[in-house]
Amino acid sequence: MTATYKRILLKLSGEALMGEDSHGINHAIMKRIVAEVSEVNKLGVEIAIVVGGGNIFRGMTSTKDGIERVTADYMGMLATVMNALALQDAMKQGGLIPRIQSALRMEQVVEPYIRGRAMRYLKEGRVVIFAAGTGNPFFTTDTAAALRGMEMNVDIVLKATKVDGIYTSDPKINSEATRFQKITFNEAIAKNLQVMDATALTLCRDQKLPLNVFSIFKAGALKRVVMGEDEGTLVTV
Q: How many domains does the chain have?
A: 1
Whether 139 has a binding-site annotation, put simply, is yes
Residue 138 lies in a domain: yes
List the pLDDT tens digit at each of the 237 positions of the chain: 789 999 999 999 998 899 888 889 999 999 999 999 999 999 999 999 999 999 998 766 666 778 999 999 999 999 999 999 999 999 999 999 999 999 999 999 999 999 999 999 999 999 999 999 999 999 999 999 999 999 999 999 999 988 899 998 888 888 888 999 999 999 999 988 888 999 999 999 999 999 999 999 999 999 999 999 999 999 999
For residue 74, the enclosing domain spans 7-236
pLDDT at 61 (0 to 100): 65
Res 192: pLDDT? 87
Query: Which sign does the torsion angle of CA 13, 16, 20, 24 carry?
Result: negative
Quick check: is 77 in a domain?
Answer: yes
Q: What is the pLDDT of residue 222?
A: 97
Bridging pattern class, strands 166-167 and 111-112: unpaired
In a domain, 214, yes or no: yes
pLDDT of res. 145:
98
Q: Which pLDDT does position 163 carry in this prediction?
A: 87
Length of the chain: 237
In this structure, how many other beta carbons lie within 10 angstroms of the beta carbon of residue 106? 13
Q: Quick one: pLDDT at residue 133?
A: 97
Q: Is residue 88 part of a domain?
A: yes
Whole-number pLDDT of residue 58: 76
In a domain, 1, yes or no: no
Within-domain flag for 2: no
In order of 25, 83, 89, 120, 140, the CA distances from 18 in angstroms are: 5, 10, 16, 31, 19
Task: Tell whether 189 is covered by a domain.
Answer: yes
Note whether residue 172 is domain-resident. yes
The CATH number covering residue 119 comes to 3.40.1160.10
Establish whether 13 is an annotated binding residue.
yes
pLDDT of residue 5: 98
Write down the pLDDT at residue 92: 98
* Residue 62 confidence (pLDDT): 61
Asked whether residue 94 is marked as a ligand-binding residue, the answer is no
pTM for the model: 0.94
Question: Known binder of ligand: residue 141?
Answer: yes
Whether residue 98 is annotated as binding a ligand: the answer is no
- Residue 134 marked as a ligand binder: yes
138 is in an annotated binding site: yes
167 is known to lie in a ligand binding site: yes
Q: Is 140 annotated as a binding residue?
A: yes
236 is in an annotated binding site: no
CB environment 124-148: b (16+ within 10 A), e (fewer): eebbbbbbbbbbebebbbbbbbbbb
